[in-house]
Amino acid sequence: MRMIVRKSTKIALRRTSSLYVILLLFFIVLFYFFITKRAMSSLSDKPRQIIFIGGYPRSGTTLMRVLLDVHPMIRCGPETRVIPKLLNLRGQWGTGKESERLKAAGLYPDVIDSAVRSFILSLIINAGETSPVLCNKDPLSFIHLEYMAKIFPDAKFIHMVRDGRAVINSLVKRNVTIRGAPKEIDDRFLAWEIRVSQFIEACNAIGSTRCMTIKYESLVLQPTEVLQTLFKFLDLPWDPVVLHHEKAMNRNALSK
């Protein structure tokens, strides 16, 4: 009987803790949105292009970030690790009891979406110096690619994809863990295949004018051709400086 009570107590504590974290993050986002609304509106008056880089971890997203960051018109800040978590929470708020409770409180999807957008935009803006084009690299944020395209209607998205064998090998060698991912090699490969298929499907749904999939191997073997095509997609001028990014890879602070 004691064991049952202890287990039920632990489950209740976990649920309470999880709910507390969700509510805490939610109120932080809303507080940030309403308090900084005036400041953010002044920033949004200026036309800013936003680029998001994503894909399965160890697929070349960091390389792409550095390549874009050395371009004189682009500032691509460091990985936040916060944006994917926030997007996951937003996904939870959009369904089930949480959605009904929020609506009952007068917090409808458009209000929450505005708060989420403002928070993400602020993270990107405050990650470094002002630049005509801002960029973010949080690989697993692409789990919510179509939602991001909705709240950032003018943004462009770069999906990096790499041979699954190389990805799994890199994850194992670097002892990189992905929350919820299986531990067995065969299962890891299957998880990679499923997730990448989802990313490609979402990228196609957004459309070729807004989302572009780039193979890591092609980028490494044919950098000039691939990057020139990429900059046409981004509607940005070509600059050969992006081909000389080696120094940036060794910098402590990668963004400008």
Closest CA to 158 of 149, 169, 168: 149
Least confidently predicted of 59-73, 87-101, 116-130, 238-252: 87-101
If you ran DSSP here, which 8-state letter would residue 95 be given? S
Q: Is residue 9 part of a domain?
A: no
pLDDT per residue over 111-149, tens digit each? 788 889 988 998 999 888 889 999 999 999 999 999 999
In this structure, is residue 93 part of a structural domain?
A: yes
Q: Give the 3-state secondary structure of residue 159.
A: strand
User: What does DSSP assign to residue 112?
Assistant: H
Residue-wise DSSP of 123-158: HHHTTSS--SEEEEE-GGGGGGHHHHHHHSTT-EEE
> Would you say residue 256 lies in a domain?
no
pLDDT at 3 over 50: no
pLDDT score recorded for residue 170 = 93
Q: State residue 45's pLDDT score.
A: 42
Q: Is there a domain that residue 255 lies in? A: no
Q: Read off the pLDDT of residues 154-171 as tens digits, 9 standing for 90 and up.
A: 999 999 999 999 999 999
Classify each residue of 52-61 as buried b or exposed e, where b means 16 or more C-beta atoms within 10 Å of its C-beta: bbbbbbbbbb
**Number of domains observed in the structure of the chain:** 1
Give the pLDDT of residue 113. Answer: 87
| Pairing status of strand 211-215 against strand 156-161 | parallel
Residue 2: pLDDT above 50? no
Q: Tell me: pLDDT of 87 over 50.
A: yes
% of the chain beyond a pLDDT of 70: 71
Look up residue 30 and give its amino acid. Answer: L
In a domain, 43, yes or no: no
Band of the pLDDT at 251, cuts 50, 70, 90? Answer: low
| Residue type (1 letter), 40 | M
- The reported pTM is 0.81
Output the pLDDT for position 206.
98
11-15, 71-75, 181-185: least confidently modelled range: 11-15
Whether 254 is in a domain gets the answer no
Catalytic site residue from 79, 129, 184, 217: 79
Q: Is residue 17 part of a domain?
A: no
Q: Is 79 among the catalytic positions?
A: yes
208 occurs within a structural domain: yes
- State yes or no: pLDDT of 195 exceeds 70: yes
Candidate from 41-55, 72-86, 163-177 with smallest mean pLDDT = 41-55
Structural domain that includes position 90: 23-37+49-236
**15-26: per-residue pLDDT in tens?**
544 554 555 555
Q: Which helix (H) or strand (E) holds 76?
A: strand 74-76
CATH code, domain with 99: 3.40.50.300
Q: DSSP string of 183-225?
A: SSHHHHHHHHHHHHHHHHHHHHHH-TTTEEEEEHHHHHHSHHH
